[in-house]
Structure 1
Amino acid sequence: MNQNGLIRSHRELEVYQIAFEAAMKIFELSKRFPIEERFALTDQIRRASRSICANLAEAWRKRRYRAAFIAKLSDCEAEAAETQIWIEFAVKCQYLDVELGRELYRTYDRIIGKLVKLSKNVDRWLLPGSQ
């Protein structure tokens, strides 16, 4: 944030910071997944978790177009929900401990909640003169 309390970059958004940290946690944990999952579950959970951050960065850059901004935030929500599904599979396959899986799942619930709040207050984030 700058001196006026304004957020100047997507990296300053709390939801981005939480999503980035969670994606890094998933990356570290997924290193322990079996080798046969390398091109399946491991790639999928890493891709979905990272995609939230990438889509947030894209959304931030599209703030001059209301519909595009909302669409990218919706993509973020979808990727967060997909990550939750991969977490469920990882737990069910016993690649992740149940309690750790619950903790990660709750983190993505929190991310989704913050994305929904961002979407409900979209006009606050749009650039002046947006379409």
Structure 2
Amino acid sequence: MHISLRAGEKIYINGAVLCADRKVSLELLNDATFLLEAHVMKVENATTPLRQLYFIVQIMLMNPTDSAVARAMFEQSMRSLVEIADDQALLAGLRAVRGHVEDGRVFEGLRSIRSLFSIEAGIMSGDSAASPTQAA
């Protein structure tokens, strides 16, 4: 896998943080868990239930050797979200997230959570047409 970084850009690989001092291309030759800086959520931005879930899963990805506490937080957060959610698209998305995380595909879990942000925003604003399945 080829990854291009700009000067000053960070990448998180298997728990390590790398910062490029100039434009650089990297080639990962084996399986590695990585997250580009653009996909990293800061704690102050974890302001909604789904964003908090994203932050928890992000911790699992960034620190794979010490994720027991994050996994327990993930399970608790998932239970809470499923209990209060009544939007079918959101529930389906949460099932996909759980499946990805349980299968060890944590990055796919993050991607699935990001795809649910617009549904959550619609629910929080009271917009019932926010769900893509309802809009069709």
Greater fraction helix: 1
Do they superpose with TM above 0.5?
Answer: no
- Structure with more relative contact order (C-alpha pairs < 8 Å, separation 6 or more): 1
Q: Which has the higher strand share?
A: 2
TM-score range, shorter chain: 0.3 to 0.5
TM (norm. structure 1) is 0.37
